[in-house]
Structure 1
């Protein structure tokens, strides 16, 4: 296997296992199963079962040894996926990027909590459409609109 793909498989495995032990485990599972759904639909159920099993291990016996074993197992799964479907590279890159962003957001929230700011940061997705001369105002928090 190409060295870059081996590194990607290792990085993805480490990202998945470390993220499964956080509050974002449901999102991690969704992302992992999504990769298989797109690239190996016949193996989607196995990926979901493997994610559930890893989550159970991390909840029941969260030792460093178990985490290492899980990372190795996921690395092999990702290598096999990349061997079978080289196009999955982009999906794994996206998975790693998204999990890194999630961890950064959690670290930022923890830092704010340490500084006494108890209001957790939230991700807000807003969509709006103005028709017939209408006006749309959107804000993630406070907004003051002065009439025209």
Structure 2
């Protein structure tokens, strides 16, 4: 197998399993299934069921992540061996479903406060826990 396609399969397995734990899972799942229907239609329904099963497995046992990545890498590798011409489309799909790099796409939070007298100000861009004694 072409080493570039092997790396693509590895990246795809990682990206797919990582997406299973995010809020963007439904969009990623739909994209993968649509891709499979276009590229290997006779396996699309089984792949959809396997995606759902993998996500359930990951939710039940987070330590199964590496195993699932390897499993999906193998499935995608087999697809690429049978249909190497779909590599470009797979790369495009991965660009769409990949989570943004840390900090990218995060909302910008701007805080300003003024205090006077004995007042206190507590500000946070997310969760805050205050324990006063």
One fold, TM greater than 0.5? yes
Unaligned runs of 5+ in 1: 118-148
Distance apart, 1:73 and its partner CA: 0.4
Cα RMSD between the aligned structures? Answer: 2.3
Q: Post-superposition shift, 1:105?
A: 7.7
Residue 40 of structure 2: aligned partner: 40
| Aligned-partner Cα distance in 2 for 1:89–1:68 | 23
Which stretches in structure 2 are left out of the alignment for 5+ residues? 111-123, 127-133
- TM-score, with length taken from structure 1: 0.69
- Alpha-carbon shift at residue 15 of structure 1 (Å): 0.3
Residue of structure 2 equivalent to 1:116: 125
Q: Does 1:61 align with 2:57?
A: no
TM-score by length of 2: 0.76
* 2:96 paired residue among 98, 108, 112: 98
> What SS does the aligned partner of 1:76 have?
helix
CA distance in 1, matches of 2:102, 2:30: 18
Q: Which has the higher contact order (CA 8 A, sep 6+)?
A: 2
Q: 1:111 Cα shift?
A: 5.8
Distance 2:109 2:46 in 1: 38
TM-aligned CA distance change 1:19 to 1:10, over 3 Å: same
Give the CA deviation at 1:108: 3.8
C-alpha distance in 2, partners of 1:29/1:9?
Answer: 17
Query: What displacement does 1:116 show?
Result: 2.5
Structure exhibiting the larger radius of gyration computed from Cα positions: 2
Distance change in 2, residues 1:113/1:79 (3 Å): farther
Taking the aligned partners of 2:51 and 2:87, their CA distance within structure 1 comes to 19
Q: What SS class does the counterpart of residue 100 from structure 2 fall into?
A: helix
